[in-house]
Chain A
Amino acid sequence: MGFDFSVIRDNLPYLLWGRTAYGEPGGLLLTVIMAICAGVLALAVGIALALAAWRYGGWTRRLLFAWADFIRGIPLLFVIFWLYFLIPALFGGHVPGAVTVIVALAWFSSAAIMYSTLAGLESLSAGQSEAGIASGLSQSQVLWLILLPQAISNLVPSYVGLLVSLIKDTSLAFIVNVPELTTVAEQVNNRSQIYPMEIFLFIGLLYFILCGGLSWAARTPARF
Protein backbone atom coordinates (compact mmCIF):
# COMPACT_ATOMS: atom_id res chain seq x y z
CA MET A 1 0.00 0.00 0.00
CA GLY A 2 1.11 3.55 -0.58
CA PHE A 3 0.75 6.41 1.79
CA ASP A 4 -1.10 9.52 0.79
CA PHE A 5 -0.25 12.30 3.17
CA SER A 6 -2.30 14.94 1.39
CA VAL A 7 -4.99 14.37 4.01
CA ILE A 8 -2.53 15.61 6.64
CA ARG A 9 -1.54 18.62 4.56
CA ASP A 10 -5.17 19.58 3.93
CA ASN A 11 -6.16 19.24 7.58
CA LEU A 12 -2.94 20.41 9.19
CA PRO A 13 -4.25 23.68 10.65
CA TYR A 14 -7.29 21.88 12.06
CA LEU A 15 -5.11 19.18 13.64
CA LEU A 16 -2.70 21.73 15.10
CA TRP A 17 -5.08 24.31 16.54
CA GLY A 18 -8.64 23.30 15.71
CA ARG A 19 -11.09 26.22 15.79
CA THR A 20 -8.85 28.58 17.72
CA ALA A 21 -9.55 31.35 15.21
CA TYR A 22 -13.22 31.15 16.25
CA GLY A 23 -12.35 31.40 19.91
CA GLU A 24 -12.38 27.66 20.68
CA PRO A 25 -8.85 26.32 21.12
CA GLY A 26 -8.47 22.79 19.79
CA GLY A 27 -6.13 20.19 18.38
CA LEU A 28 -2.50 20.02 19.47
CA LEU A 29 -2.76 23.49 21.01
CA LEU A 30 -5.56 22.41 23.36
CA THR A 31 -3.62 19.26 24.26
CA VAL A 32 -0.65 21.38 25.32
CA ILE A 33 -2.82 23.92 27.17
CA MET A 34 -4.63 21.15 29.06
CA ALA A 35 -1.41 19.37 29.99
CA ILE A 36 0.24 22.58 31.27
CA CYS A 37 -2.80 23.72 33.29
CA ALA A 38 -3.36 20.27 34.77
CA GLY A 39 0.37 19.90 35.45
CA VAL A 40 0.64 23.21 37.35
CA LEU A 41 -2.51 22.46 39.35
CA ALA A 42 -1.42 18.89 40.13
CA LEU A 43 2.06 20.03 41.24
CA ALA A 44 0.64 22.69 43.57
CA VAL A 45 -1.99 20.41 45.08
CA GLY A 46 0.24 17.31 45.21
CA ILE A 47 3.12 19.11 46.94
CA ALA A 48 0.74 20.81 49.38
CA LEU A 49 -0.78 17.45 50.30
CA ALA A 50 2.64 15.87 50.72
CA LEU A 51 3.65 18.70 53.06
CA ALA A 52 0.45 18.22 55.06
CA ALA A 53 1.04 14.48 55.32
CA TRP A 54 4.66 15.06 56.37
CA ARG A 55 3.92 17.80 58.89
CA TYR A 56 0.85 16.37 60.65
CA GLY A 57 1.16 12.60 60.21
CA GLY A 58 -1.35 10.42 62.07
CA TRP A 59 -4.92 10.64 60.87
CA THR A 60 -4.23 13.40 58.34
CA ARG A 61 -1.70 11.15 56.69
CA ARG A 62 -3.91 8.08 56.79
CA LEU A 63 -6.81 10.03 55.33
CA LEU A 64 -4.66 11.42 52.52
CA PHE A 65 -3.31 7.96 51.69
CA ALA A 66 -6.82 6.49 51.62
CA TRP A 67 -7.89 9.30 49.30
CA ALA A 68 -4.90 8.74 47.00
CA ASP A 69 -5.42 4.97 46.92
CA PHE A 70 -9.06 5.49 46.01
CA ILE A 71 -8.16 7.83 43.15
CA ARG A 72 -5.48 5.45 41.90
CA GLY A 73 -7.79 2.46 42.25
CA ILE A 74 -10.36 3.58 39.70
CA PRO A 75 -9.87 4.27 35.99
CA LEU A 76 -9.06 7.90 35.14
CA LEU A 77 -12.09 7.83 32.86
CA PHE A 78 -14.33 7.44 35.92
CA VAL A 79 -12.72 10.45 37.60
CA ILE A 80 -13.64 12.41 34.48
CA PHE A 81 -17.22 11.07 34.50
CA TRP A 82 -17.64 11.94 38.19
CA LEU A 83 -16.46 15.49 37.66
CA TYR A 84 -18.74 15.92 34.66
CA PHE A 85 -21.50 15.16 37.06
CA LEU A 86 -20.30 16.82 40.24
CA ILE A 87 -18.96 20.18 39.00
CA PRO A 88 -22.31 21.37 37.58
CA ALA A 89 -24.13 19.90 40.60
CA LEU A 90 -21.88 21.79 43.04
CA PHE A 91 -21.30 25.05 41.20
CA GLY A 92 -24.29 25.14 38.89
CA GLY A 93 -24.27 26.42 35.36
CA HIS A 94 -22.26 25.31 32.37
CA VAL A 95 -18.59 24.44 32.73
CA PRO A 96 -16.61 23.88 29.51
CA GLY A 97 -15.63 20.25 28.91
CA ALA A 98 -11.94 21.13 28.65
CA VAL A 99 -11.99 22.68 32.15
CA THR A 100 -13.66 19.58 33.58
CA VAL A 101 -11.02 17.33 32.04
CA ILE A 102 -8.22 19.60 33.31
CA VAL A 103 -9.58 19.39 36.86
CA ALA A 104 -9.95 15.61 36.57
CA LEU A 105 -6.40 15.16 35.26
CA ALA A 106 -5.01 17.43 37.98
CA TRP A 107 -6.95 15.62 40.66
CA PHE A 108 -5.79 12.22 39.41
CA SER A 109 -2.13 13.25 39.03
CA SER A 110 -1.94 15.10 42.33
CA ALA A 111 -2.22 11.72 44.09
CA ALA A 112 0.88 10.48 42.27
CA ILE A 113 2.74 13.76 42.94
CA MET A 114 1.87 13.50 46.62
CA TYR A 115 3.33 10.01 46.77
CA SER A 116 6.57 10.83 45.00
CA THR A 117 7.09 14.12 46.88
CA LEU A 118 6.61 12.34 50.19
CA ALA A 119 9.09 9.67 49.11
CA GLY A 120 11.51 12.43 48.16
CA LEU A 121 11.13 14.11 51.56
CA GLU A 122 11.61 10.81 53.36
CA SER A 123 14.74 9.95 51.42
CA LEU A 124 16.58 13.01 52.78
CA SER A 125 18.85 12.18 55.68
CA ALA A 126 17.54 12.90 59.18
CA GLY A 127 20.63 15.02 59.84
CA GLN A 128 19.13 17.74 57.63
CA SER A 129 16.12 18.13 59.94
CA GLU A 130 18.23 17.89 63.06
CA ALA A 131 20.68 20.51 61.86
CA GLY A 132 17.77 22.82 61.01
CA ILE A 133 16.16 22.42 64.44
CA ALA A 134 19.54 22.88 66.14
CA SER A 135 19.96 26.15 64.22
CA GLY A 136 16.79 27.40 65.83
CA LEU A 137 14.37 27.00 62.92
CA SER A 138 10.79 25.92 63.56
CA GLN A 139 9.40 22.64 62.16
CA SER A 140 7.63 24.47 59.36
CA GLN A 141 10.73 26.51 58.50
CA VAL A 142 12.83 23.34 58.36
CA LEU A 143 10.30 21.79 55.99
CA TRP A 144 9.93 24.87 53.82
CA LEU A 145 13.51 26.18 53.74
CA ILE A 146 15.64 23.05 54.04
CA LEU A 147 13.81 19.84 53.14
CA LEU A 148 11.45 20.89 50.33
CA PRO A 149 14.03 22.65 48.12
CA GLN A 150 16.33 19.62 48.26
CA ALA A 151 13.51 17.15 47.70
CA ILE A 152 12.18 19.07 44.71
CA SER A 153 15.51 19.27 42.92
CA ASN A 154 15.92 15.50 43.41
CA LEU A 155 12.39 14.95 42.15
CA VAL A 156 12.59 16.86 38.86
CA PRO A 157 13.00 13.68 36.75
CA SER A 158 10.06 12.06 38.49
CA TYR A 159 7.92 15.18 37.93
CA VAL A 160 8.85 15.22 34.25
CA GLY A 161 7.78 11.57 34.02
CA LEU A 162 4.43 12.53 35.51
CA LEU A 163 4.07 15.42 33.06
CA VAL A 164 4.69 12.99 30.17
CA SER A 165 1.93 10.74 31.53
CA LEU A 166 -0.27 13.79 31.82
CA ILE A 167 0.24 14.71 28.16
CA LYS A 168 -0.69 11.17 27.17
CA ASP A 169 -3.70 11.19 29.48
CA THR A 170 -5.15 14.31 27.85
CA SER A 171 -6.11 11.97 25.00
CA LEU A 172 -8.88 10.60 27.24
CA ALA A 173 -10.77 13.81 26.52
CA PHE A 174 -11.65 12.02 23.28
CA ILE A 175 -14.16 9.83 25.17
CA VAL A 176 -16.06 12.94 26.34
CA ASN A 177 -15.65 14.74 23.03
CA VAL A 178 -13.41 17.66 24.03
CA PRO A 179 -11.71 18.75 20.77
CA GLU A 180 -8.05 18.04 21.64
CA LEU A 181 -5.62 16.30 19.30
CA THR A 182 -7.07 12.76 19.47
CA THR A 183 -10.64 13.99 19.07
CA VAL A 184 -9.92 16.20 16.05
CA ALA A 185 -7.90 13.37 14.49
CA GLU A 186 -10.88 11.05 14.87
CA GLN A 187 -13.10 13.75 13.34
CA VAL A 188 -10.77 14.05 10.35
CA ASN A 189 -10.68 10.25 10.11
CA ASN A 190 -14.48 10.11 10.11
CA ARG A 191 -14.73 12.75 7.43
CA SER A 192 -12.06 11.33 5.10
CA GLN A 193 -12.76 7.65 5.88
CA ILE A 194 -9.91 6.13 3.85
CA TYR A 195 -6.75 7.51 5.48
CA PRO A 196 -6.77 6.13 9.04
CA MET A 197 -3.16 4.93 8.72
CA GLU A 198 -1.78 8.35 7.74
CA ILE A 199 -3.83 10.23 10.34
CA PHE A 200 -3.07 8.05 13.35
CA LEU A 201 0.60 7.69 12.44
CA PHE A 202 0.84 11.47 12.20
CA ILE A 203 -0.78 12.26 15.54
CA GLY A 204 1.21 9.40 17.08
CA LEU A 205 4.30 11.19 15.83
CA LEU A 206 3.14 14.48 17.36
CA TYR A 207 2.61 12.85 20.76
CA PHE A 208 5.95 11.08 20.39
CA ILE A 209 7.79 14.34 19.72
CA LEU A 210 6.12 16.02 22.72
CA CYS A 211 6.59 13.17 25.20
CA GLY A 212 9.86 11.77 23.89
CA GLY A 213 11.33 15.28 23.70
CA LEU A 214 10.40 16.00 27.30
CA SER A 215 11.83 12.72 28.61
CA TRP A 216 14.95 13.26 26.57
CA ALA A 217 15.37 16.77 27.97
CA ALA A 218 14.94 15.39 31.48
CA ARG A 219 17.55 12.70 30.92
CA THR A 220 20.27 14.99 29.63
CA PRO A 221 22.44 16.21 32.53
CA ALA A 222 20.55 18.71 34.63
CA ARG A 223 21.40 22.37 34.81
CA PHE A 224 18.61 23.60 36.99
Chain B
Amino acid sequence: MRGITFDWAGVVTGQPAQWLLSGFLTTVYVTVAGCVLASAVALVVVALRLAPGRVGRYAAGTFVEIFLNTPILVQMLFWYFAAYGLLPRTWRLFINADHPWAVLPVNVIVLAPEFLCAAWGLGLFTAVFLAQELRTGLNAVPKGQTEAAMAQGLSSWQTLRFVLLPQALVNAWQPLVGQYLNLMKLSSLATGIGLAELTSQVRKIESYNAHSLEAFAVGTAIYLALGVAMGRLLLLVGPKRPDRKRSAPPERAGALVVASSARGSDGI
Protein backbone atom coordinates (compact mmCIF):
# COMPACT_ATOMS: atom_id res chain seq x y z
CA MET B 1 0.00 0.00 0.00
CA ARG B 2 1.45 3.35 -0.96
CA GLY B 3 1.93 5.93 1.72
CA ILE B 4 -0.67 8.67 1.72
CA THR B 5 0.70 12.18 1.44
CA PHE B 6 -1.37 15.31 1.47
CA ASP B 7 -1.00 18.19 -0.93
CA TRP B 8 -3.48 20.82 0.12
CA ALA B 9 -2.14 23.42 -2.29
CA GLY B 10 -3.66 21.42 -5.13
CA VAL B 11 -7.12 22.08 -3.69
CA VAL B 12 -7.11 25.41 -1.90
CA THR B 13 -5.15 27.52 -4.39
CA GLY B 14 -5.48 28.53 -8.04
CA GLN B 15 -8.18 27.14 -10.29
CA PRO B 16 -9.50 24.48 -7.83
CA ALA B 17 -9.99 27.19 -5.19
CA GLN B 18 -12.03 29.20 -7.71
CA TRP B 19 -14.19 26.15 -8.40
CA LEU B 20 -14.71 25.49 -4.71
CA LEU B 21 -15.78 29.10 -4.11
CA SER B 22 -18.29 29.16 -6.96
CA GLY B 23 -19.53 25.70 -5.95
CA PHE B 24 -19.99 26.81 -2.35
CA LEU B 25 -21.93 29.91 -3.43
CA THR B 26 -24.10 27.88 -5.81
CA THR B 27 -24.94 25.53 -2.94
CA VAL B 28 -25.88 28.53 -0.80
CA TYR B 29 -28.04 30.09 -3.53
CA VAL B 30 -29.89 26.91 -4.41
CA THR B 31 -30.44 26.21 -0.70
CA VAL B 32 -31.93 29.66 -0.11
CA ALA B 33 -34.16 29.42 -3.20
CA GLY B 34 -35.27 25.91 -2.22
CA CYS B 35 -36.01 26.90 1.39
CA VAL B 36 -38.16 29.86 0.34
CA LEU B 37 -40.14 27.73 -2.12
CA ALA B 38 -40.45 24.88 0.39
CA SER B 39 -41.82 27.19 3.09
CA ALA B 40 -44.42 28.69 0.75
CA VAL B 41 -45.60 25.29 -0.53
CA ALA B 42 -45.67 23.87 3.01
CA LEU B 43 -47.98 26.67 4.13
CA VAL B 44 -50.33 25.97 1.22
CA VAL B 45 -50.35 22.24 2.04
CA VAL B 46 -51.11 22.87 5.71
CA ALA B 47 -53.84 25.37 4.84
CA LEU B 48 -55.41 22.90 2.38
CA ARG B 49 -55.34 20.13 4.97
CA LEU B 50 -57.07 22.30 7.55
CA ALA B 51 -59.54 24.03 5.23
CA PRO B 52 -63.06 22.69 4.97
CA GLY B 53 -63.76 20.82 1.76
CA ARG B 54 -62.68 17.35 0.79
CA VAL B 55 -61.06 18.20 -2.54
CA GLY B 56 -58.34 20.36 -1.01
CA ARG B 57 -57.66 17.81 1.70
CA TYR B 58 -57.35 14.94 -0.77
CA ALA B 59 -55.15 17.01 -3.09
CA ALA B 60 -52.80 17.90 -0.23
CA GLY B 61 -52.80 14.29 1.01
CA THR B 62 -51.99 12.91 -2.45
CA PHE B 63 -49.21 15.46 -2.91
CA VAL B 64 -47.68 14.46 0.44
CA GLU B 65 -47.89 10.70 -0.25
CA ILE B 66 -46.31 10.97 -3.71
CA PHE B 67 -43.43 13.21 -2.68
CA LEU B 68 -42.82 11.30 0.55
CA ASN B 69 -42.60 7.90 -1.10
CA THR B 70 -40.30 8.58 -4.06
CA PRO B 71 -36.58 9.44 -3.93
CA ILE B 72 -35.61 13.11 -4.24
CA LEU B 73 -33.03 12.19 -6.87
CA VAL B 74 -35.70 10.59 -9.10
CA GLN B 75 -37.88 13.65 -8.59
CA MET B 76 -35.04 15.92 -9.69
CA LEU B 77 -34.31 13.77 -12.75
CA PHE B 78 -38.02 13.89 -13.56
CA TRP B 79 -38.19 17.68 -13.35
CA TYR B 80 -35.00 18.12 -15.32
CA PHE B 81 -35.37 15.51 -18.08
CA ALA B 82 -39.14 15.18 -18.39
CA ALA B 83 -41.09 18.12 -16.99
CA TYR B 84 -38.77 20.93 -18.09
CA GLY B 85 -39.32 19.97 -21.73
CA LEU B 86 -43.06 20.56 -21.31
CA LEU B 87 -42.58 24.26 -20.58
CA PRO B 88 -43.68 26.51 -23.46
CA ARG B 89 -40.89 27.07 -25.99
CA THR B 90 -40.86 30.81 -25.40
CA TRP B 91 -40.20 30.27 -21.67
CA ARG B 92 -37.33 27.95 -22.38
CA LEU B 93 -35.83 30.42 -24.87
CA PHE B 94 -36.18 33.12 -22.24
CA ILE B 95 -34.46 30.97 -19.61
CA ASN B 96 -31.61 30.11 -21.95
CA ALA B 97 -31.08 33.70 -23.13
CA ASP B 98 -28.41 35.93 -21.51
CA HIS B 99 -29.67 37.82 -18.49
CA PRO B 100 -26.98 39.90 -16.78
CA TRP B 101 -29.33 40.50 -13.82
CA ALA B 102 -29.64 36.76 -13.22
CA VAL B 103 -25.91 36.27 -12.65
CA LEU B 104 -24.98 36.22 -8.97
CA PRO B 105 -21.42 36.48 -7.69
CA VAL B 106 -19.11 34.66 -8.58
CA ASN B 107 -20.51 34.13 -12.07
CA VAL B 108 -23.34 31.79 -10.99
CA ILE B 109 -26.17 31.82 -13.52
CA VAL B 110 -29.43 31.43 -11.63
CA LEU B 111 -31.77 31.51 -14.61
CA ALA B 112 -30.64 28.16 -16.01
CA PRO B 113 -32.54 24.86 -16.28
CA GLU B 114 -30.19 23.07 -13.86
CA PHE B 115 -30.55 25.68 -11.14
CA LEU B 116 -34.30 26.08 -11.56
CA CYS B 117 -35.00 22.34 -11.59
CA ALA B 118 -32.75 21.77 -8.57
CA ALA B 119 -34.37 24.53 -6.51
CA TRP B 120 -37.85 23.45 -7.60
CA GLY B 121 -37.22 19.77 -6.84
CA LEU B 122 -35.61 20.46 -3.47
CA GLY B 123 -38.38 22.91 -2.58
CA LEU B 124 -41.29 20.58 -3.33
CA PHE B 125 -39.65 17.59 -1.65
CA THR B 126 -38.80 19.50 1.52
CA ALA B 127 -42.23 21.18 1.61
CA VAL B 128 -43.79 17.81 2.47
CA PHE B 129 -41.53 17.40 5.51
CA LEU B 130 -42.01 21.02 6.60
CA ALA B 131 -45.78 20.52 6.38
CA GLN B 132 -45.57 17.38 8.57
CA GLU B 133 -43.52 19.23 11.21
CA LEU B 134 -45.91 22.19 11.12
CA ARG B 135 -48.87 19.89 11.59
CA THR B 136 -47.20 18.30 14.61
CA GLY B 137 -46.58 21.81 15.92
CA LEU B 138 -50.22 22.78 15.32
CA ASN B 139 -51.47 19.67 17.10
CA ALA B 140 -49.46 20.65 20.16
CA VAL B 141 -51.28 23.99 20.45
CA PRO B 142 -53.90 23.70 23.22
CA LYS B 143 -57.46 23.46 21.95
CA GLY B 144 -58.50 26.38 24.13
CA GLN B 145 -56.53 28.70 21.86
CA THR B 146 -58.83 28.02 18.90
CA GLU B 147 -61.92 28.36 21.04
CA ALA B 148 -60.67 31.61 22.58
CA ALA B 149 -59.85 33.04 19.15
CA MET B 150 -63.27 32.07 17.79
CA ALA B 151 -64.89 33.65 20.84
CA GLN B 152 -63.01 36.86 20.04
CA GLY B 153 -64.72 36.87 16.67
CA LEU B 154 -61.73 35.91 14.52
CA SER B 155 -62.47 34.02 11.30
CA SER B 156 -60.95 30.58 10.90
CA TRP B 157 -58.32 32.01 8.54
CA GLN B 158 -57.45 34.74 11.04
CA THR B 159 -57.29 32.16 13.82
CA LEU B 160 -54.79 30.13 11.79
CA ARG B 161 -52.71 33.12 10.73
CA PHE B 162 -52.54 35.08 13.98
CA VAL B 163 -53.09 32.54 16.75
CA LEU B 164 -52.32 28.95 15.74
CA LEU B 165 -49.50 29.29 13.19
CA PRO B 166 -47.28 31.55 15.33
CA GLN B 167 -47.52 29.09 18.22
CA ALA B 168 -47.01 26.10 15.92
CA LEU B 169 -43.86 27.77 14.58
CA VAL B 170 -42.52 28.16 18.10
CA ASN B 171 -43.34 24.53 18.89
CA ALA B 172 -41.88 23.13 15.69
CA TRP B 173 -38.99 25.49 15.03
CA GLN B 174 -36.24 23.04 16.00
CA PRO B 175 -37.42 20.21 13.71
CA LEU B 176 -38.16 22.74 10.97
CA VAL B 177 -34.56 23.94 11.13
CA GLY B 178 -33.52 20.29 10.84
CA GLN B 179 -35.50 20.04 7.60
CA TYR B 180 -33.94 23.22 6.19
CA LEU B 181 -30.51 21.78 7.00
CA ASN B 182 -31.53 18.57 5.27
CA LEU B 183 -32.41 20.54 2.15
CA MET B 184 -28.92 22.03 2.18
CA LYS B 185 -27.35 18.56 2.36
CA LEU B 186 -29.71 17.17 -0.31
CA SER B 187 -28.65 19.96 -2.67
CA SER B 188 -25.53 17.80 -3.19
CA LEU B 189 -27.72 15.53 -5.34
CA ALA B 190 -28.16 18.32 -7.89
CA THR B 191 -24.78 17.19 -9.17
CA GLY B 192 -26.84 14.41 -10.82
CA ILE B 193 -28.57 16.92 -13.10
CA GLY B 194 -25.39 18.85 -13.80
CA LEU B 195 -25.68 21.79 -11.41
CA ALA B 196 -22.15 23.06 -10.68
CA GLU B 197 -22.60 23.12 -6.90
CA LEU B 198 -20.08 22.18 -4.24
CA THR B 199 -20.21 18.40 -4.68
CA SER B 200 -19.85 18.61 -8.43
CA GLN B 201 -16.86 20.99 -8.07
CA VAL B 202 -15.22 18.62 -5.61
CA ARG B 203 -15.51 15.82 -8.16
CA LYS B 204 -14.19 18.15 -10.85
CA ILE B 205 -11.03 18.71 -8.81
CA GLU B 206 -10.70 14.95 -8.43
CA SER B 207 -10.63 14.48 -12.19
CA TYR B 208 -8.53 17.64 -12.75
CA ASN B 209 -5.52 16.83 -10.57
CA ALA B 210 -6.50 13.58 -8.78
CA HIS B 211 -6.35 15.21 -5.33
CA SER B 212 -9.45 13.31 -4.33
CA LEU B 213 -8.67 12.76 -0.66
CA GLU B 214 -7.88 16.45 -0.07
CA ALA B 215 -10.87 17.57 -2.13
CA PHE B 216 -13.27 15.28 -0.21
CA ALA B 217 -11.83 16.50 3.10
CA VAL B 218 -12.28 20.15 2.15
CA GLY B 219 -15.78 19.48 0.80
CA THR B 220 -16.76 17.62 3.97
CA ALA B 221 -15.44 20.45 6.14
CA ILE B 222 -17.34 23.06 4.10
CA TYR B 223 -20.64 21.16 4.38
CA LEU B 224 -20.15 20.69 8.13
CA ALA B 225 -19.32 24.35 8.66
CA LEU B 226 -22.18 25.52 6.47
CA GLY B 227 -24.58 23.28 8.40
CA VAL B 228 -23.42 24.57 11.78
CA ALA B 229 -23.59 28.21 10.63
CA MET B 230 -26.99 27.79 9.01
CA GLY B 231 -28.39 26.01 12.08
CA ARG B 232 -27.12 28.74 14.42
CA LEU B 233 -28.48 31.50 12.20
CA LEU B 234 -31.93 29.93 11.85
CA LEU B 235 -32.22 29.32 15.60
CA LEU B 236 -31.15 32.91 16.18
CA VAL B 237 -33.70 34.53 13.85
CA GLY B 238 -36.45 32.02 14.55
CA PRO B 239 -39.43 32.53 16.84
CA LYS B 240 -38.59 31.96 20.49
CA ARG B 241 -40.56 31.04 23.52
CA PRO B 242 -41.29 34.08 25.64
CA ASP B 243 -38.94 34.77 28.49
CA ARG B 244 -39.97 32.49 31.32
CA LYS B 245 -38.48 34.80 33.95
CA ARG B 246 -41.07 37.43 33.26
CA SER B 247 -43.69 36.10 35.62
CA ALA B 248 -46.89 36.23 33.64
CA PRO B 249 -49.98 34.79 35.24
CA PRO B 250 -50.77 31.44 33.59
CA GLU B 251 -53.84 32.75 31.76
CA ARG B 252 -51.78 35.37 30.00
CA ALA B 253 -48.89 33.12 29.08
CA GLY B 254 -50.66 31.96 25.93
CA ALA B 255 -51.36 35.50 24.81
CA LEU B 256 -47.70 36.31 25.27
CA VAL B 257 -46.71 33.43 23.02
CA VAL B 258 -48.97 34.76 20.30
CA ALA B 259 -47.70 38.31 20.50
CA SER B 260 -43.97 37.62 20.57
CA SER B 261 -43.95 34.88 17.96
CA ALA B 262 -46.19 36.86 15.62
CA ARG B 263 -43.43 39.43 15.59
CA GLY B 264 -40.79 36.73 15.18
CA SER B 265 -42.55 34.99 12.34
CA ASP B 266 -42.62 38.13 10.21
CA GLY B 267 -38.89 37.90 9.81
CA ILE B 268 -38.88 34.47 8.20
Contacts and interface: CB of A to CB of B under 8 A. Distances in A.
Interface band, chain B: 35 or more
Given A82-B216, A85-B216, A211-B69, A77 B78 contact: no
B71 interface: yes
Nearest to B79: A200
A168 B78 contact: no
A175 B192 contact: yes
B82 A201 contact: yes
B77 to A, nearest CB: 6
Interface stretch (A12-20, A68-76, A129-137, A146-154): A68-76
A159 to B, nearest CB: 17
A203 B188 contact: no
Nearest to A181: B74
26 contacts: A1-B86, A74-B220, A74-B223, A75-B185, A75-B188, A76-B185, A77-B188, A77-B189, A78-B188, A78-B220, A78-B223, A81-B216, A85-B213, A164-B69, A172-B73, A172-B189, A175-B189, A175-B192, A182-B71, A185-B74, A200-B82, A201-B82, A207-B71, A208-B66, A211-B70, A215-B68
Per DSSP, chain A at the interface is helix
Contact of B78 (A1, A164, A201): A201
B77 A200 contact: yes
Contacts, number: 99
Contacts of B191: 77, 175
Select the residue from A182, A204, A207, A212 with max chain B CB neighbours within 10 A. Answer: A204
Interface band, chain A: 35 or more
Contacts of B70: 168, 204, 207-208, 211
A147 B182 CA distance: 32
Nearest to B188: A75
A171 B223 contact: no
Nearest to B215: A81
Nearest to B73: A171
Contacts of A208: 66, 69-70
Contact of B219 (A78, A164, A169, A200): A78
A200 B72 CA distance: 12
B224 interface: yes
A89 interface: yes
Contacts of B71: 168-171, 182, 207
A65 interface: no
Interface in A124-182: 164, 168-172, 174-175, 182
Instruction: Please provide the 3 A-B residue pairs with the shortest distance between their CB atoms, ordered closest to farther.
Output: A171-B71, A75-B188, A211-B69
A168 B224 contact: no
Interface string A176-202: 000000100110010000001101110
Nearest to B199: A77
B81 interface: yes
Contacts of A185: 74, 77
Contacts of A75: 185-186, 188-189, 199, 223
A39 to B, nearest CB: 16
A8 to B, nearest CB: 13
A159 B74 CA distance: 23
Select the residue from B70, B75, B83 with max chain A CB neighbours within 10 A. Answer: B70
B180 to A, nearest CB: 14
